[in-house]
A and B are shown apart, each in its own frame.
Chain A
Amino acid sequence: MNEKPDIPKKEKKAKGDELIFPLMALAFAIYYLYTIVDLSWEAKINGVLVGSILIFLIAVFLFKTALERWRGKISLKLKTFVFNSSAHLTRVWFLLLAIAYVIMIPWVGFTLTTFGYLVAAMLLLGVRSPVRLFAVSLALSVFGYLFFITLLKTRLPSGPVERLIEWWF
């Protein structure tokens, strides 16, 4: 009997991820062009020129990718953006914490929100020592207050801490 030896198949390079950015850019270009349809030529000429070049470049990129796929050199699987690992989950939570920081800051004020955010983010990233969590977050928040609010006079939202300090001094 003639048995062929098992030749391991060369894995195709997954290039699905690389399509995310151009597709996002394409959607934005279409939206941009849609918003300038009714404007005068002076208001739309730049958008038309830049948008057309962008769409042309994306079309070339998509054509090249389709050609490579058709020739069997690549696959269109997602490699980086598959949310099945704990690292990705951590990143999503990390981003959600940052969003929460932005939402909370007008209500709670800069210093207290920064302190809370730093504690939560460091805890998420694996800092377990309560002393370190508290000390580093406190030191950074105080530094932030002194540098941005006291020294640079940045008009950051005030909360109970800022009001208390203002009242005290």
Chain B
Amino acid sequence: MEFTFEFLAQLFMTSLGHWYVIIPAIIIGLVIGAIPGLGPANTLIILLPFTLTLEVNAAMAFMVALYCSARMGAGIPAILVNIPGTAGAAATPFDGYPMTQKGMGQQALTMSFVASAFGGLIASIFSIFSLPLLARVGYYFHSVEMVVVMLFGLTLIAVVSTGNTLKGLIGGFFGLLVGAIGPDFIYSAPRATFGFLELFDGVPVVAALIGIFAISEALLMIEVKSILSEAGKIRMAAQSPWAATWEGVRMSAERWWHIVWTSFIGLGIGVVPGAGAPIAAFVAYQQSRLFSKTPELYGTGHPEGILAPESANNGVTSGSLIPLLTLGIPGGSTAAIMLIVIQFHGIVLGPRIFLDMPKFPYGVLMGMVVTYLFMVGTILPLARYMSRVTLIPTQYLAPAIISFTLVGAFSPRAYIFDMGLALVFGVIGYIARKTGYQVSAILIGIILGPYVERYLMRALRISEGDPMVLFSSKIGNFLWVFLILSLILPPLIERFRKR
């Protein structure tokens, strides 16, 4: 295969020809991404009979478009009502929601769309040119490195999410322990299930997400009549409808370099199987704050605090497909469903794909490029209308959030128990929010809990139970140093800046 301009142009035109599946997929993805509990994986399972009837390239274009737009859609409720659609958008409300409260929801949404689209676009283009090279990254991350990556991510979240690192760490480790409820990986012995059979499979992440973010937010929301502050209402009333969208575009364009480098953080983390969008978003947010000239503005509605996590979590999308396309290893549940469709069409993924069917992996990534280009055009005008949600009085909004998100908690397993569990997590989330414990740290802990245990177990079994195995790898040790630095450096830099 010759990697020429002609080859790329041909791929681009072929992908463009799939517009008839890409545009509906973008719309579906946006809606399901914005509703907590209805992730792209669930939707792709529902739509599996449809995708299996399509020709394989069109099916991949459809699934990739839905996956990318769902990632973007998750940022919409995160900005407008402080409820991330998926865990990947858990860092977005830090600055997105304060902007909304100031009456700048439209600008915040526009920035989120621009960062998502261009962050994803940059990462996809880079992936096309470095696909075989990026595929090797996955080889260097074994169980030991993965344990450290996850603890590193959790530590960063603890540092980033609250002014108080100790509180952040308590939240994060509480989440990790909650995530370890259920069976162990060797004997399937149930642990800490409170006697509930429904917890024998572990804590359902969607119910936890909905409780911790949505239910607790609804409980907080009823304290005020409107999401908007008084100044925010005046600002919303005064600004002309399209001017706010353009202001968001301008604010993003002024910070274009920010979008570029944070998208590479997302791509790098996305390539590592299992790390995923939540870690990428928080790492990008922390790095953005660390190198910012105005770190004190983060958490108050700072544009860079929206651009960084949104660009990074969309950078993850192309990164997470690389292990699938090059090694045949799905990096997550959505990629696993894509693998089913690919296998149905008789395509064998793995290193030989570059010899047998080189157009296929590059075509999938080109489909992603085309999707992001379509997304810019179709979604930007919607920011104006979506931001009107903030004008709805909380006496209507809060009950609607409770009833619809509880359905989201029910959907994945069809257990009424999960609705009740979401309410329990809602109360925990409410207490945490009211007393200064960051709910994002708890949620990410719950998500990472099973992964940390799985990789820890593998590492310990290889070393026959010797915990020193955790310090036996060069990359792992390098990451340990980073972990310790991430705990020590921020307060030191803060002190240095104050002088």
Q: Which residues of B contact A45 (CB under 8 A)?
A: 456-457, 460
Minimal beta-carbon separation of B320 from chain A (angstroms): 24
Minimal beta-carbon separation of A13 from chain B (angstroms): 12
Candidates B166, B170, B222; contact of A90 at CB < 8 Å? B222
Contact status A125-B170, CB under 8 Å: no
Any A CB within 8 A of the CB of B396: yes
* Distance, CA A31 to CA B396, complexed state (A): 39
Q: Which residues of A contact B431 (CB under 8 A)?
A: 20-21, 24, 81
Contact status B187-A140, CB under 8 Å: no
* Chain B binding surface SS class: helix
Candidates B43, B171, B410, B465; contact of A156 at CB < 8 Å? B410
Q: Which residues of B contact A29 (CB under 8 A)?
A: 174, 177
Candidates A18, A49, A81; contact of B436 at CB < 8 Å? A18
Candidates B170, B184, B402; contact of A58 at CB < 8 Å? B170
Candidates A20, A39, A49; contact of B435 at CB < 8 Å? A20
Q: Which residues of A contact B437 (CB under 8 A)?
A: 21
Q: Which residues of B contact A54 (CB under 8 A)?
A: 170, 173-174, 176-177
* Distance, CA A139 to CA B410, complexed state (A): 21
Most buried by A among B189, B193, B456: B189
Any B CB within 8 A of the CB of A10: no
Any B CB within 8 A of the CB of A159: no
* Distance, CA A44 to CA B185, complexed state (A): 11
Q: Could you mark each residue 168-202 of chain B with 1 if its beta carbon is under 8 Å from any beta carbon of chain A, else 0? A: 01110110111011001111010111000000000
Contact status B46-A50, CB under 8 Å: no
Assuming A46-B453, A57-B169, A121-B398, is B432 touching A21 (CB within 8 A)? yes
* Distance, CA A34 to CA B170, complexed state (A): 20
Candidates B394, B400, B419, B435; contact of A102 at CB < 8 Å? B419
Contact status A127-B428, CB under 8 Å: no
Assuming A41-B465, A46-B452, A80-B434, is B411 touching A154 (CB within 8 A)? yes
Residues from 11 to 59 in B contacting A, C-beta threshold 8 Å: 38, 43, 46
Contact status B465-A28, CB under 8 Å: no
Residues from 319 to 353 in B contacting A, C-beta threshold 8 Å: none
Contact status B395-A127, CB under 8 Å: yes
Q: Which residues of A contact B453 (CB under 8 A)?
A: 46
* Distance, CA A53 to CA B449, complexed state (A): 14
Assuming A32-B177, A32-B191, A148-B407, is B423 touching A17 (CB within 8 A)? no
Contact status B407-A40, CB under 8 Å: no
Contact status B177-A28, CB under 8 Å: yes
Any B CB within 8 A of the CB of A161: no
Any A CB within 8 A of the CB of B132: no
Residues from 65 to 110 in A contacting B, C-beta threshold 8 Å: 80-81, 87, 90-91, 94-95, 98-99, 101-102, 105-106, 110
Contact status A157-B399, CB under 8 Å: no
Candidates A41, A152, A156; contact of B38 at CB < 8 Å? A152
Contact status A144-B423, CB under 8 Å: no
* Distance, CA A17 to CA B414, complexed state (A): 36
Query: How many interface residues does chain B have, given as a range?
Result: 35 or more
* Distance, CA A58 to CA B181, complexed state (A): 20
Contact status B456-A49, CB under 8 Å: yes
Contact status A25-B174, CB under 8 Å: yes
* Distance, CA A105 to CA B223, complexed state (A): 27
Q: Which residues of A contact B479 (CB under 8 A)?
A: none
Any A CB within 8 A of the CB of B378: no
Minimal beta-carbon separation of A93 from chain B (angstroms): 10
Q: Which residues of A contact B400 (CB under 8 A)?
A: 118, 140
* Chain A binding surface SS class: helix
Contact status A53-B173, CB under 8 Å: yes
* Distance, CA A60 to CA B402, complexed state (A): 36
Contact status A18-B435, CB under 8 Å: yes
* Distance, CA A105 to CA B453, complexed state (A): 36
Minimal beta-carbon separation of B41 from chain A (angstroms): 14
Contact status A17-B434, CB under 8 Å: yes
Q: Which residues of B contact A152 (CB under 8 A)?
A: 38, 43, 46, 411
Minimal beta-carbon separation of B287 from chain A (angstroms): 24
Any A CB within 8 A of the CB of B139: no
Minimal beta-carbon separation of B432 from chain A (angstroms): 6
Candidates A28, A95, A136, A144; contact of B427 at CB < 8 Å? A95
* Distance, CA A136 to CA B404, complexed state (A): 14
Contact status B407-A136, CB under 8 Å: no
Q: Which residues of B contact A95 (CB under 8 A)?
A: 219, 423, 426-427
Contact status B403-A117, CB under 8 Å: yes
Chain A residue with the shortest CB-CB distance to B42: A152
* Distance, CA A23 to CA B427, complexed state (A): 15
Any A CB within 8 A of the CB of B416: yes
Residues from 151 to 168 in A contacting B, C-beta threshold 8 Å: 152-157
* Distance, CA A117 to CA B395, complexed state (A): 13
Chain B residue with the shortest CB-CB distance to A55: B173
Contact status B219-A43, CB under 8 Å: no
Any B CB within 8 A of the CB of A134: no
Contact status B403-A136, CB under 8 Å: no
Contact status A24-B428, CB under 8 Å: yes
Contact status B406-A50, CB under 8 Å: no
Assuming A17-B434, A20-B431, A32-B191, is B406 touching A122 (CB within 8 A)? no
Any A CB within 8 A of the CB of B204: no
* Distance, CA A94 to CA B460, complexed state (A): 47
Contact status B402-A32, CB under 8 Å: no
Known: A44-B184, A117-B403. 20 other contacts (CB 8 A): A18-B167, A21-B435, A29-B174, A39-B191, A43-B186, A44-B191, A46-B453, A57-B170, A61-B167, A80-B434, A81-B431, A91-B222, A94-B398, A95-B219, A98-B402, A98-B426, A102-B420, A114-B403, A122-B399, A157-B416
A-B contact pairs, 8 of them (CB 8 A): A21-B431, A32-B191, A43-B187, A43-B191, A64-B166, A127-B396, A136-B396, A156-B410
The 10 A-B pairs with the shortest beta carbon distances in the complex, nearest first, are A121-B399, A43-B184, A125-B395, A46-B453, A54-B173, A25-B174, A42-B186, A32-B192, A102-B419, A155-B414
